[in-house]
């Protein structure tokens, strides 16, 4: 059965068919939630809530990109989580930051990598997460969906209930802010990943 078949069955109440959709999209959903929230536990909650809500409202899906429809639910659950965190008196941006010392990344690669590489990737991950945490939520979601998950402008527009022009402007601002953060704290970035600024300046443009 193809995706549309699973969707139609799920719309008739077939939870087993819906779980096929879960299997297809759960990595994307969790990754997005993780990047937006910066906290694995919160990302799990948001992802689980999102799938429960998606099944409950699956009959509201009327065509178009199912991926975008689903991610809209995911981002809404993420916003809910962010609101909850903001309400707590101890909430601060730090709560959204990863502890750089705590390894978060699972073994998503089949081949074992050298410890150095692994450590560097952890470091990079932490730096990116810190940069993302400084962004307003809508810019953060847009940046994650476009530059990390590869969504098109139209898909992001559907997932964030905005128009393409708004998506473009949020993206532009988010990219610039992240770039400014990373450039301001080069020590956070493993040398392997650093920008060779001298090269950037001297390289002749065609």
Partner 1 sequence: MFERKNNREGHVWVEERLSDYIDNQLAPLERSHLERHVRGCARCQASLASLKWAISLLKRAPAPALPRSFALTVPSKPAHLFQLNLSMLRLATALATLMLFALVGVDLISQWGGAGAPAPLPAAREIVEPTQAIALVQATPSASPDVLVAPTAAPPTSAPAQLLVQPRAPATTSLPSPAPTQAPGVASVAAETSATKAGADTAPKSAITPPAPKPAAADARATPTAAMPTALAPSRTTTAVSPTAPIESPTPKVEVRVEPTRGPPPPPSELPREMGSPLRIAELGLLFVAVFLGALTALVWRRKS
Would you say 149 and 33 are in contact if contact means Cβ atoms under 8 Å apart?
no
Q: Which is nearer to partner 1, 87 or 205 (CB)?
A: 205
Q: Which is nearer to partner 1, 62 or 205 (CB)?
A: 205
Instruction: At 15, list the tokens.
Output: 């939870």
Minimum Å gap between C-beta 87 and partner 1 is 25
Minimum Å gap between C-beta 89 and partner 1 is 28
Q: Which is nearer to partner 1, 50 or 159 (CB)?
A: 50
Q: Which is nearer to partner 1, 88 or 107 (CB)?
A: 107
Q: Which is nearer to partner 1, 43 or 89 (CB)?
A: 43
Minimum Å gap between C-beta 130 and partner 1 is 12
Distance of CA 27 to the CA centre of its chain: 11
Least Cα distance to 120 among 183, 191, 185, 31 occurs for 191
Binding site for partner 1 (CB under 8 A): 12-16, 18-19, 22-23, 26-27, 29-31, 34, 40, 43-44, 47-48, 51-52, 55, 104-108, 121-122, 124-125, 128, 143, 147-148, 168, 171-172, 175-176, 178-179, 182-183, 189, 193, 195, 197, 200-201, 203, 205
Would you say 55 and 10 are in contact if contact means Cβ atoms under 8 Å apart?
yes
Minimum Å gap between C-beta 146 and partner 1 is 8
Q: Which is nearer to partner 1, 71 or 89 (CB)?
A: 71
């Amino acid at each position: 059965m193809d995706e549309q078949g699973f969707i139609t069955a799920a719309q008739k109440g077939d939870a087993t068919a819906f779980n096929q959709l879960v299997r297809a999209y759960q990595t994307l959903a969790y990754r997005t939630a993780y990047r937006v929230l910066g906290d694995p536990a919160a990302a799990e909650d948001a992802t689980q809530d999102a799938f429960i809500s998606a099944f409950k409202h699956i009959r509201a899906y009327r065509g178009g990109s199912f991926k975008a429809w689903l991610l809209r639910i995911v981002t809404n659950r993420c916003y809910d989580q962010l609101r909850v965190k903001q309400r707590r008196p101890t909430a601060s941006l730090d709560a959204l930051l990863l502890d750089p010392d705590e390894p978060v990344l699972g073994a998503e690669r089949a081949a074992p990598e050298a410890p150095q590489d692994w450590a560097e990737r952890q470091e990079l991950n932490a730096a990116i997460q810190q940069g993302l945490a400084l962004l307003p939520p809508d810019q953060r979601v847009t940046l994650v969906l476009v530059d990390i998950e590869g969504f098109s402008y139209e898909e992001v527009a559907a997932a964030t209930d905005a128009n393409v022009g708004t998506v473009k402007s949020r993206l532009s601002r988010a990219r610039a802010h992240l770039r400014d953060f990373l450039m301001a704290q080069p020590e956070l970035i493993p040398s392997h990943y650093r920008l060779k600024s001298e090269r950037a300046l001297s390289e002749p443009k065609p």
